[in-house]
Structure 1
């Protein structure tokens, strides 16, 4: 399908990067449009996502697809080459389960980026509970959630691999180490070694500065 592809995103958003990784893994050409978030959203973003008014939005032939995991499924169905889902129906169901798990636990995983003080401490505890669930039930002895190759569930949970380390640096804490979360730690390293992932990650120092400033503003207003 040769219709034009455009992606509306934000440079520090793990939800934008889910889609970027999928498009890159599929070998698809697209135009990336950076939004000025959170307060200066473009008229086009509001037009294409009038309900939630947020990124990412994938525009395919002028038609908008919204919500990152919905976009991932759309990309997989529209361009089945270089599949992100296993061929086995049961394994596909498992991959979709962990993709949905990632969505259901969004507030627990990312709450620490949006809170300060006691609320942040609570958010960190909730995040660690989610990570423990993934450690104990998600990966087993597999390299990736789908086996030996990166897939849909890896992309849905991929923000953990890079963004979590940024927050560890900001707060001078270390949560995911080889001895505390051995499977998750190994997965994070394997994930970031995939060429498409490694070449498409936001700059860590810029991220630290951005989120540190954001947290300082939250603390000042608390």
Structure 2
């Protein structure tokens, strides 16, 4: 995937851009690299988070150049599902620092550690994400139930209509149904192409399974 990006210009318009592809295709690596190049902590959080638990990010972020339209977003956040636990721990630490402004009210008034994983994700979307923001999300559906994904979709749509921009790596056919979103699919050759909803890999795979689960299971289980 990195080779396919060499010398290429990627433009992300306003609203929501989704990245889809098989595991290992590079979609999460690309979101992470863009986040790092834009000044976010590699493990997630806002640009003010500077902790490091275990360095695992790729070097791609240092090779990207980010160009931005005039104007500055009012809010920003990088949500990396696999390391949000670490972000929550850092949030608690910062909130306890003497003389500092309390941070938990912006996350619903309670530490994410006091909520389920899915509830803490929805708290983040509801309370921390605001209009005219820039939000990079890596597989946010990882902790969400079906209803949780529907709630997330509604909140993302609401924020989009208020001027926010999202880049989201996902496997969720529910989130991909967001009206007006652009879907970029990373193919087996590492190439990027825009696809309509009905042809996106997670949508096709889910529909094939739901159309005849028994047939799919016979094929898988022999």
- If the length of structure 1 is used for normalisation, what is the TM-score? 0.33
- If the length of structure 2 is used for normalisation, what is the TM-score? 0.33
Q: Which has the higher strand share?
A: 2
Q: Which has the higher contact order (CA 8 A, sep 6+)?
A: 2
Q: Which has the higher helix share?
A: 1
